[in-house]
Structure 1
Amino acid sequence: MGAYDDRFGSILIGSWLSSMLYALVVTQVYQYFRLFPTDAMYRKGLVLSTLFFCTVALVADYANVYMPTVTFWGNAEKVNIQYWPVPLFVTTSTFVGVLVNSFLIHRFYSLSKNLCTSIFLSLLMILGFAGSFMVAITLQQFSLYTSRDKAKTAALVWTVSTALTDIGIAGALIWQLLSMKSSFKETQSRIRRLIIQTVQTGCTTSVVSIITLVSYLIKNDSNIPTACNFVIAPLYALTLLSNFNLRQRADPVSGSGRSTSEGNTVRMDGIHVHRTAVVTVDANKTGTEHQQYHNSSKDTKVPDF
């Protein structure tokens, strides 16, 4: 029975880890809708779509473990076949990554206006999704566990492109945030927090993608890359939700949290405007003194990730 440790034990452990991460995803989704009820509909739709595909991927993970270890246990021929859950979790987990990375690439473009880098990252993301789709089709056509080599080329395209996309997005965002300067201590502190957040969330999916790639290159007949792929979808979802939930909380009165004022400083979702008054006295006016007031402002825009 120890011969099945690699094949079934790895995906069983992967399903446990995926379940724990999924519980965190559900908690973060609840927190998002509680804290930001007035968010734009596209953000709410993105969160719900991500949760839906994470749920489908988790069900596929469970089915992929259940069928060989329960339904067909003891049937040597049946347990060597990869059934419908395998292509399903491959495509759904990758689609979660596409949703999250599309949002992050859009954020990067909105922040930097760097069209070339944004297009390059988008092409890498699309290439990774195409590779995962080809893996799913190949596994559906050649369902024997021993026929996994037929999907090797597509699997390499998928894993390499995914790892490069995650690393590229995290690196581009960090580089752009490092280039931002502000004379406001609070804004500069917020930029530093965003850099730390980008490193933490971006490196998580990047590291898992690299582990998946390395484990596949070392032993492509193992189920360890499959187990790694089990956790990638909830990790992507947590990346998205952490970007949303770490924003400034909504104002308890208006619910929007869009604008607050403190003395001469106005804060609007990361835009800090400091007002100063300059008084000019014109003594040349006969019998009167003319006073001219001029308002000047500085602003530094920090995006809400």
Structure 2
Amino acid sequence: MSAATLDSGAPLNNTMGSMLLGVIFSAILYGISVLQCMFYYTRYERDPMYLKFLVASTLFLDTLHLSFVVHTVYHYLISNYYENDALQAMVWSVSLEALPTGVTAGLVQSFYAHRIWRMSHGNYFSTGFVLFLILATSACGTAWVIMALQCRTYQDLLRISPLTITINALSTAADVFITMILCFMLHRSNPASLETESMVNRLILFTINTGLLTSLCAVAALVSLIISPRTLIYASFYFCIGRLYSNALLASLNARSVIRGRINDVDSNFHIKSPRGANAAATHLTRDVFVRPADDADELTVRIDRTTELYADGSYGKSKNKFMPPEIKEPESVADSDSA
């Protein structure tokens, strides 16, 4: 939450009206999350259990958060309809709603940190910096919830406004850094074909779009909090941040078949395999990506073999050796067995 203050007689359009809009948009995004969950569980049944558990956890946290914000709006606008004293007092749900939002953000950002770790083959600096931002945001968020539960009015909440701004800034920084490092790793790859290059471009565009939504929403909440701290305008954005995180996660999982083109759907998240050792800086990327590995493999790869045969004119339906000119040799198999 933030250090919003409802002064006596304050207009409801930029206070409870803003909070109500936030609940409406959050409910719409929650419905999209439910649909994406249904699609995920029916489409990617072979995914590992940790991914299925992550999706289930985000859906549960979304449900919990929505119940908290609905209770908050019902408490202020129905149970205490336009009672000025009640509008200035904080209800328990308005403080606790920050908890599922923070946990959802931490889970999704940790998922992206794991992706960075895999794509960079254990780059401690990049992964460690992302984890530092995640842990710092989680620690500040936990402290905020504890302190907010001790506040009786929104006026008391103004005392921890610096902590609120810090949480929003750290969360935004984590989103921006994750998006930048993922795009950089994809951009420096060396596609082996035009088809693979197209897939990489789709990956970069998709990564930017998913990271941009959460970043813009967090920035909007942060700016509205700084410019207008005595209103609840920020709530219109803050109530949607958790839903945007869960939708970004589900979209990245459900869009795998689209990004790969016509490559068969598989059970792993995005992963680019690059050579280890001296040539690790030059990533060689091809279509052979994202498939269930063998029991003794440590990478996620797929092999796509295509055979091209040469026939002389008029050889259709007849023996190819009989009609093949001397300069055309026996057909050879050409295997596109690049590795990603």
Query: Which TM class, normalised by the smaller chain length?
Result: 0.7 to 0.9
Other-structure match for 2:137: 128
Other-structure match for 2:53: 45
* Cα distance change of structure 1 residues 198 and 266 upon mapping to structure 2, 3 Å threshold: closer
Counterparts of 1:164 and 1:99, CA distance in 2: 16
Other-structure match for 1:88: 96
The answer to whether 1:269 aligns with 2:308 is no
Counterparts of 2:67 and 2:243, CA distance in 1: 13
Q: Which amino acid aligns with 1:216?
A: L
Whether the 8 Å CA contact 2:288–2:337 is kept in 1: the answer is: no
1:130-169 map, 5 Å = 130-169=139-178
Counterparts of 2:232 and 2:133, CA distance in 1: 25
> Quick check: 234-243 or 267-276, which moved more?
267-276
Whether the 8 Å CA contact 2:287–2:338 is kept in 1: the answer is: no
Structure 1 unpaired stretches of 5+: 250-254, 259-264, 278-292
* Cα distance change of structure 1 residues 120 and 268 upon mapping to structure 2, 3 Å threshold: closer
Other-structure match for 1:117: 126
Q: Which amino acid aligns with 1:121?
A: V
SS for the counterpart of 2:229 is coil
Other-structure match for 1:102: 110
* Cα distance change of structure 1 residues 300 and 215 upon mapping to structure 2, 3 Å threshold: farther
13, 16, 27: which one aligns with 1:8: 16
Structure 2 unpaired stretches of 5+: 1-8, 259-263, 268-285, 292-300, 308-331
CA offsets 1:5-47 (integer angstroms, 9 cap, x no match): 2210000000010011111000000000111112110000000
Whether the 8 Å CA contact 1:112–1:176 is kept in 2: the answer is: yes
CA apart distance, 1:76 = 2.3
Which is helix-richer, 1 or 2? 1
CA apart distance, 1:213 = 1.1
Identity percentage over the alignment? 26
TM-score, length-scaled by structure 1? 0.83
The answer to whether 1:200 aligns with 2:239 is no
Other-structure match for 2:179: 170
Q: Which amino acid aligns with 2:85?
A: E
289, 299, 302: which one aligns with 2:338: 299
CA apart distance, 1:148 = 2.1
SS for the counterpart of 1:4 is coil
Whether the 8 Å CA contact 1:86–1:136 is kept in 2: the answer is: no
Counterparts of 1:257 and 1:48, CA distance in 2: 19
Which is strand-richer, 1 or 2? 1
Whether the 8 Å CA contact 1:138–1:150 is kept in 2: the answer is: no
Counterparts of 2:63 and 2:287, CA distance in 1: 41
Whether the 8 Å CA contact 2:196–2:287 is kept in 1: the answer is: no
Q: Which amino acid aligns with 2:55?
A: V
CA apart distance, 1:98 = 0.6
Q: Which amino acid aligns with 2:214?
A: T
- The count of aligned residue pairs is 275
CA RMSD of aligned residues (A): 2.5
SS for the counterpart of 1:153 is helix
SS for the counterpart of 1:221 is coil
Other-structure match for 1:59: 67
CA apart distance, 1:142 = 1.2
TM-score, length-scaled by structure 2? 0.75
CA apart distance, 1:62 = 0.5
Whether the 8 Å CA contact 2:116–2:182 is kept in 1: the answer is: yes
> Quick check: 54-63 or 184-193, which moved more?
184-193
CA apart distance, 1:298 = 5.5
Other-structure match for 1:22: 30
